[in-house]
Structure 1
């Protein structure tokens, strides 16, 4: 049960932030957002505030922001329709009732002869008591069309996604991955302040382990490493990489201790890595820092570190050095979360940040049905001067989504085999 709760927490948080990015930038651009949904499948909870319905659904494996102009909902009132109108004190239509007129009082019946609910915002027709005279009513920009129990807010053209400038559309789509990176920065920053100190990339020796090569050679915590074998060390990563590449090879450490420089010979011990290769280890930890500035910047530096790491894995996909085992679907993430939970809540938060970065990067891939694919179409529009035909673009996204679902099924089946067989 703990793992299930943790899984829902992790997925729910990263999906919420992703969709929140789309939502906030859509609102800022003046786009009508019909639905902000976390999860897929049957509704668990739904709440409407003004023009947006906020929904929580059963399956916590995604979410979406449904914007006007993207959902295919077109309110069309054909001539001959008999509707009921609700008017405000200024004789402006606030509700157009197609079915269920008996549930409302003070309904103005009308046989529609024409309407425009996108640009001019009017409806006209024949009133019940005078079928020879056409009357015309102005329609409010937030008027609601009622069809039985279904209520749909009309979407004037200036409120639909396609009506906005290319820059606003692009930022609305890019904001989802952007907010995943922001979530990671927030989490890593919180972890930095809670833990008291954070890993530093300074070229120093951290904690020295008992019986390690460093202790045997005489290295001490706080030693500043100037060079190794004459090569300048500018960061902890430089030290780590040099040692790792030198199993059983004597290294000349030039260090500064208490204002004095000295040379210390250290021979890294050989240990087997996960890929079976031999790497050098000297038994020291990465140095830590408890400075306020380091803690503030840790969220950014750690986020960038994971972006580069995940980018390296994606690079292997391009070069061909890739296998299906390098991908995790929901089942794989669940089993990994089960292991992470055992290490405590702070480790779970760190895992959440890494997954959030991963979701942000994957969504930026230039593939159909992903945010990156849509941004690629915007780039095409920028270069060409006009957008691709919506039907053609929709077909590309549909095919891309179908292929992604096939890949997801393969990854999920692979996860199941690894977890249970």
Structure 2
């Protein structure tokens, strides 16, 4: 059942993307030869108004095939017979429709469960943050040069970039006025494995990992359960907390036993010396109900958050902070959706639905942003060729563009195969 739901979610996101291309093609009087859902051999098809509508065997992806899309045909209704601006609108429509889908899904989620304003909930007494005048209830608007719209904005910034140990610069709003502060945080050096966990008596589950740190490098994943540290049995988060308090990490290696799904793994890692700084305050990550106008405002902020997170992750992939091993394809996405369903089931069907809609927002925004990368065979690559055509007044030779797109497609296919096998390796 989980797999069926996951495939359905993935398919909806892709179909909406292709629907964007389809509708703008029709609006610009471009002949759509085939609109298909899925890939591979055709299971069912029908023809209406010169367009073949197909359902295909593999429930991943889809396509919107247009007349003259890959040649210089000037026939009536051919893609290349239309103005460069018309063609640009067709290409942009796919990613744009993904953003529109994400926006409407955000409205649904925020209407029911609210959003997470980046409000300070507690300031540590006597901390440098308290000395600047920060108070409970202040709304963080900027942190280290980045605009902060929701609590997860700040959480992601802190989690991915860390807390600077020299100066923290932020802006906050109180009573309608914005204030700017800079302070030197309290800090200490300690050895870390690079993960976080919850508190209490539940199993010691890894809830986040720091890229480039020992546990992430060892192959541990979010959701894995820590069972032993240096052959000491860990039955709960409290056991883990007690062990790390009584046995501070050093530059000595640590033997760790952890559970990934139903399999037990052993690894030996060496903690990394890190200078840890403290913000000096706690901020909100909980959802708060919003009035109607703010629902729209926070829905826009929600999309902005996912776009920024996707771009940031892409930048970290390019700079080497993430590797291709961290990428997930359709197999990995289906697995993650299954995990989301299983982890939410205990809270009831309502929360299962809300979490799945949230996953759809992530997928849709991700697909929209990634498709705009100016890489051959992606929408962004095709858009780049059209921008060059608009500047030059004439297009690049079809043969040259075709060769470049074919090379890009081969590279993408190779990457997809690698990611698929990597997803399978991670699952098993």
TM range (shorter): 0.5 to 0.7
- Let me know the Cα RMSD of the aligned residues: 4.3
2:402 paired with 1:394: yes
Counterpart of 1:58 in structure 2 is 57
Mapping for residues 324-339 of structure 1, pairs under 5 Å: 324-339=324-339
Q: Deviations over 1:40-72 (max 9, x none)?
A: 012233232222222121212211101111267
Structure 1: gaps spanning 5 or more residues: 75-117, 119-156, 248-253, 258-265
The structure-2 alpha-carbon separation of the partners of 1:256 and 1:24, relative to structure 1 and needing over 3 Å to count, comes to closer
Counterpart of 2:205 in structure 1 is none
User: 1:375 offset after TM fit, Å?
Assistant: 0.7
Mapping for residues 109-258 of structure 1, pairs under 5 Å: 157-195=75-113, 197-201=114-118, 204-206=119-121, 223-225=136-138, 245=163
Aligned length: 320
Counterpart of 2:198 in structure 1 is none
Whole-Å separation in 2 of the counterparts to 1:415 and 1:71? 33
- Give the TM-score, by structure 2 length: 0.64
User: 1:268 offset after TM fit, Å?
Assistant: 10
2:420 paired with 1:412: yes
Aligned partners of 2:376 and 2:404 also within 8 Å: yes
Whole-Å separation in 2 of the counterparts to 1:164 and 1:305? 35
Aligned partners of 1:369 and 1:401 also within 8 Å: yes
Larger radius of gyration: 1
Structure 2: gaps spanning 5 or more residues: 166-171, 176-184, 196-208, 214-273, 345-351
Whole-Å separation in 2 of the counterparts to 1:268 and 1:366? 41
Aligned partners of 1:34 and 1:67 also within 8 Å: yes
Which structure has more relative contact order (CA 8 Å, sep 6+)? It is 2
Counterpart of 1:36 in structure 2 is 35
User: 1:298 offset after TM fit, Å?
Assistant: 2.1
The structure-2 alpha-carbon separation of the partners of 1:376 and 1:255, relative to structure 1 and needing over 3 Å to count, comes to closer
Counterpart of 1:16 in structure 2 is 15
Counterpart of 1:291 in structure 2 is 291
Whole-Å separation in 2 of the counterparts to 1:415 and 1:242? 27
Q: Pick the aligned partner of 1:355 from 363, 374, 397.
A: 363
The structure-2 alpha-carbon separation of the partners of 1:358 and 1:177, relative to structure 1 and needing over 3 Å to count, comes to same
Aligned partners of 1:205 and 1:286 also within 8 Å: no
Q: Deviations over 1:298-340 (max 9, x none)?
A: 2211111111111011112333433112211112112111111
- Give the TM-score, by structure 1 length: 0.65
Aligned partners of 1:40 and 1:61 also within 8 Å: yes
Aligned partners of 1:200 and 1:289 also within 8 Å: no
Report the secondary structure of 1:322's partner residue: coil
Whole-Å separation in 1 of the counterparts to 2:337 and 2:70? 34
Q: Which structure has the highest strand share of the two?
A: 1
